[in-house]
Structure 1
């Protein structure tokens, strides 16, 4: 009986040991050195196509980062997302004083304007009537040379301390004005300390002219005006592109590719080497072992002359389903590819890895473990409650060595699948032996109990 318990304990210990070894770097097929740039302690790594392909799972649950001592590091795995990018510019603009009667509204300031053919303000002439009773009521800013939306004014003035309040109006023709914003300048000095507010926010609209009007008091002399403008554009999420893959030509107009494993491909790019190419095409896919092809996408790729430059469309969006075999059918009526080989690139959704270094380097990225469990933390947990990392504390990580050719990845992944199957088989054998041993122990106890002699008869 003691021998049976010893055997059972040894089997359980072996099972636990097999599971515990999954977090050692040596148990991952790929171990890629990392080069760090910046002070950290957080570092960001954009995962290339070859690394995502080398993983055993589409969700990259088998990805780990280790330090020199083989200790796993905390990390968060995020999808690359689109973002709003802003390009800002600044420009000093001409200033023109607006004179008007002190007793009338500020908007009654009289002006006579001369403009160049491009609309730029050349000269602003005051009416000579009652010049001795007029005061400085505001300023006209010529912003016609700025094409982007206006987001901020930066003003410098010559006056004593105090608050300067004014309205801001916009116009495109100097005749029709619309209210844009309210502004306030501040300059205060006390005990050798100075407080200044020279910036005024604008609502991000385009205009050719701005008018600043002081309503309750004469305007202050402005010495300089700088207008800040910005153009916002949406940048799509980054994609991870593969190396160039050459397809196998089948029938006329049909080409075939096979990937090492099924991948959620979201875009393809076909090489158009010659000018004046027009390629109506259909894309089909199937996974390994499936007999039938399924439609994936259809479109027209082209490289043709345009009005001023060549017009080119060599990419086609895909729905992001996991595919392993890809077939491209090109309509021969468009002329086809001619003698050039069918070379395309595939794109996966971009993935970013943010990890927190601990312990000494060098550090390495490990992946390629079929039995690994997810280890990615929520981003706020990794950052100690913040939603975004601080730029000053986030460096860049780069891979110094990784699989470069899909053929190498394919052969290694085949070995990995065999190794994973072997590990699963070993675990099942251990479990079945343990169950059999427990059954044998139970049967032995029941048999011994049945053989227990009863009390002696009188």
Structure 2
């Protein structure tokens, strides 16, 4: 039996064909990457501070150039046209701490000696606002048999979340004082807030104190402190609370847009792109305007209107000064159309639709700078997929302190956004994608033809 040996030429041809196929696929994959020319607008970036991470505040005027409301079509490119890895984060409300402790009233909670571990039963007298005036044990306790079980704090005057409790007590009690913390708004239903511990220790003519207890940062009208061992409950001399107030949500406002009159007293505005709106502001130009109004919103013209808010809009002149209420809140849902229905019994807002501006949560883009500068921000592509990474992935081990040390990126001369609704993209063939796939298919066919020809030649020899 004659053994057929592979000809060196055939092996060489097969190797060349494989190399050609690999280079062809690599070229096609390179062409399929995000390219600067795929985006409608570009804005140069100026960097300052230490990298390699840089943060950029995206103004709403620039976001209006996006073709996708979720900002999937945002990229950062370097001088060589390479896309940079990035993350998009929304501004979070910062709680502004009120560092001044607020003194509150406290009332002793007593039990009888034979029920010292039971929950105190009390009767109270309070004002219509809920402020406690008097707290007494429910039922008769004979003199000398009462046991101090704990303390009731009246926090009804504090409307903000409670973060810290600061206690002071009589000097005859030293050591550690442990107690449970419970909260209530009606003195009937109590919610456990955890455990607390304070301490006062004397050592070598020095006094060591721990008087601050951390609270969970929630609101409550009353706090109840119940000591773990009633016989060790101290006599309080002061009770103070440190609270925090919710900070203002960081917002980014748009330029004003024009609306249209649907019918008398009904105004409609079309946003350039669907956005998650947080607030809207009506330009009330005429003094002494009063308009009870209801706000509606929807995603597009095919969706039903959803009522969002109702209230009173006005611009009133008193003593030479204007008192203005021109804003209404939205829940942050993605919408593109707004409608305001005005009760004309208050005089209305005029025969023409007033101008309107809207706000979204401030948006920050963080990117990892690689390659050669300068860098640019590209936006505007209705077909591209999102490439944003979670911030914890882009910046391993990120903390608020580390984020504060990022370098800063600022916009150069930004393109002026068109404040008219973007026309929907005309659906049609994507010739660029079709061309790339056509070349790929032809390359595979050519590669197969070369391999088959080489195999036939080898067999014939």
Say yes or no: TM over 0.5: yes
TM-fit CA distance, 1:400: 3.4
Of 52, 76, 80, the residue aligned with 2:63 is 52
Of 19, 29, 32, the residue aligned with 2:41 is 29
**Per-residue Cα deviation, 1:424-449 (whole angstroms, up to 9, x for no partner):** 43453454456567768988999999
- Counterparts of 1:329 and 1:78, CA distance in 2: 31
The match for 2:213 is 200
Of 166, 190, 200, the residue aligned with 1:154 is 166
- Counterparts of 1:159 and 1:189, CA distance in 2: 11
TM-fit CA distance, 1:377: 1.7
Change (3 A) 1:322 1:375: same
Aligned length: 405
- Counterparts of 2:167 and 2:155, CA distance in 1: 18
Of 28, 32, 35, the residue aligned with 1:19 is 32
Do the aligned partners of 1:33 and 1:365 also contact (CA within 8 Å) in 2?
Answer: yes
TM-fit CA distance, 1:276: 1.6
**Per-residue Cα deviation, 1:356-414 (whole angstroms, up to 9, x for no partner):** 55689776533335564432223442343x6xx4221112756434647433898xx89
**Per-residue Cα deviation, 1:161-217 (whole angstroms, up to 9, x for no partner):** 633457889999xxx9x9999754324577999864322356864349989998435
3-state secondary structure, aligned to 1:228: strand
- Counterparts of 1:44 and 1:188, CA distance in 2: 49
2:417 maps to 1:406: yes
Of 341, 346, 350, the residue aligned with 1:338 is 350
Once the two structures are superposed, the pairs formed by residues 248-259 of structure 1 within 5 Å of their partners are none
- Counterparts of 2:327 and 2:376, CA distance in 1: 36
Structure 2 length-normalised TM:
0.57
**Per-residue Cα deviation, 1:275-318 (whole angstroms, up to 9, x for no partner):** 2234568778857xxxxx76534686642599x99794643759
Of 61, 81, 101, the residue aligned with 1:90 is 101
Q: Which segments of 5 or more consecutive residues in structure 2 lack a partner in the other structure?
A: 1-12, 118-128, 134-143
- Counterparts of 2:304 and 2:182, CA distance in 1: 57
Do the aligned partners of 2:284 and 2:314 also contact (CA within 8 Å) in 1?
Answer: no
TM-fit CA distance, 1:33: 1.9
3-state secondary structure, aligned to 1:246: coil
Change (3 A) 1:357 1:394: farther
- Counterparts of 2:441 and 2:45, CA distance in 1: 43
Do the aligned partners of 1:58 and 1:264 also contact (CA within 8 Å) in 2?
Answer: yes
Do the aligned partners of 1:53 and 1:263 also contact (CA within 8 Å) in 2?
Answer: no
**Per-residue Cα deviation, 1:226-263 (whole angstroms, up to 9, x for no partner):** 5114366597x766432101235687667676655x42
2:409 maps to 1:394: no
- Counterparts of 1:217 and 1:316, CA distance in 2: 52
2:237 maps to 1:227: no
Of 300, 303, 313, the residue aligned with 1:303 is 313
Do the aligned partners of 1:276 and 1:304 also contact (CA within 8 Å) in 2?
Answer: yes
- Counterparts of 1:162 and 1:316, CA distance in 2: 52
Of 421, 428, 431, the residue aligned with 1:425 is 431
The match for 1:112 is none
Do the aligned partners of 1:34 and 1:365 also contact (CA within 8 Å) in 2?
Answer: no
Change (3 A) 1:35 1:170: same
Change (3 A) 1:380 1:340: same
- Counterparts of 2:106 and 2:299, CA distance in 1: 65
TM-fit CA distance, 1:343: 0.6
The match for 1:272 is 284
2:253 maps to 1:244: no
2:87 maps to 1:76: yes
Change (3 A) 1:340 1:142: same
Of 375, 382, 385, the residue aligned with 2:394 is 382
**Per-residue Cα deviation, 1:123-161 (whole angstroms, up to 9, x for no partner):** xxxxxxxxxx9xxx8998996895347654324564696
Structure 1 length-normalised TM:
0.57
Change (3 A) 1:214 1:421: same
- Counterparts of 2:153 and 2:343, CA distance in 1: 58
The match for 1:353 is 365
3-state secondary structure, aligned to 1:31: strand
Change (3 A) 1:23 1:170: closer
3-state secondary structure, aligned to 1:394: helix
3-state secondary structure, aligned to 2:64: helix
Change (3 A) 1:339 1:86: same
3-state secondary structure, aligned to 2:357: strand
Q: Which segments of 5 or more consecutive residues in structure 1 lack a partner in the other structure?
A: 107-117, 122-132, 288-292
- Counterparts of 1:10 and 1:407, CA distance in 2: 43
2:324 maps to 1:315: no
Change (3 A) 1:283 1:55: closer
